Amino acid sequence: MTAFSETRAPGFRFDWPRYPLGGTGGTDQVDLRVKRQVRSPQLRNRRDILIALPPGWDESEARYPVVYMHDGQNLFDPSTSANGDWGLVASLAEEARAGRPVIVVGIPNIGPRRRHEYSPFRDTTHGGGGGDRYLEFVAATVKPLIDASFPTRPDRTHTATAGGSLAGLISLYALYRLPDVFGAAAALSPSLWFADRSILTFVSAHARRTGKLYMDAGTREGDEVVADVERLRDRLLDAGRVEGTDLVCVVEDEAGHDEAAWGRRFRAALPFLFGR
């Protein structure tokens, strides 16, 4: 059997060194790597790209589904997240042990540019509106880079996107804006309120497009947040989605707007995204 890593160019391991996080890279642990300062011609900026690979990926001929996640600095490493991480290293190792290995690509935000990049519509108070260009970066720069470097299953059925808050908003938008790229999305506590809830109108106009959608909220986020998620759920059900088949909506009691809650719920949502 030929290991996937042996088919890469000699500079592969140099280009994607292990991310310096303790507990990763072992035989039963996620292999967390990073490519520094990837340039975005669409956004005219640079950022590191992180990737979490299943244990033993480079000794196998298997190929894996991929989730492209935003706010990448909050996913794995508590030292780079202001509010704690999602705990994805443990979650992905558990998925691999359960026979459901998956690759997660973490795309960090660029601080002050976060709101602009993650919002597809311009808000007269909060700005934004750069979501299409950001998604072009993900689809035309990041995804081809990942597919060329790692054993992915690149078709839409095995490609998902996910994030929380504004990153949940851009994930939801991506499912409908780029249906040929993403076959599933997890929108955790999505900021549906942004730009006078323009996302509700957009999704309603494209509601018949296919793809699996997981979305959620916590009751401690406020009544309006929960009501927005439930309103979108009802619109999608009216448009023909079937809850439990191509739509899951969760409202978690006593959960807040934070990485710990999103990481906990994302672990439960992962098998749904890829029909496993």
CATH number where 226 lies: 3.40.50.1820
* pLDDT value at residue 27: 57
pLDDT at 117: 96
For residue 35, what pLDDT is reported? 96
Tens-binned pLDDT, residue by residue, of the chain (276 aa): 445 554 454 445 568 999 988 666 655 689 999 999 999 999 999 999 999 999 999 888 999 999 999 999 999 998 998 788 999 999 999 999 999 999 999 999 999 899 999 999 988 887 788 899 999 999 999 999 999 999 999 999 999 999 999 999 999 999 999 999 999 999 999 999 999 899 999 998 887 778 999 999 999 999 999 999 999 999 999 999 999 999 999 999 999 999 999 999 999 999 999 987
Q: How many domains does the chain have?
A: 1
SS3 assignment for the chain:
CCCHHHHCCCCHHHHCCECCCCCCCCCCCCEEEEEEEEEECCCCEEEEEEEEECCCHHHCCCCECEEEEECHHHCCCHHHCCCCCCCHHHHHHHHHHCCCCCEEEEECCCHHHHHHHHCCCCECCCECCCHHHHHHHHHHHHHHHHHHHCCECCCHHHEEEEEECHHHHHHHHHHHHCCCCCCEEEEECCCCCHHHHHHHHHHHHCCCCCCEEEEEEEHHHCHHHHHHHHHHHHHHHHCCCCECCCEEEEEECCCCCCHHHHHHHHHHHHHHHCCC
Q: Which domain holds residue 57?
A: 4-273
Q: pTM for the whole thing?
A: 0.94
Q: What is the pLDDT of residue 6?
A: 44
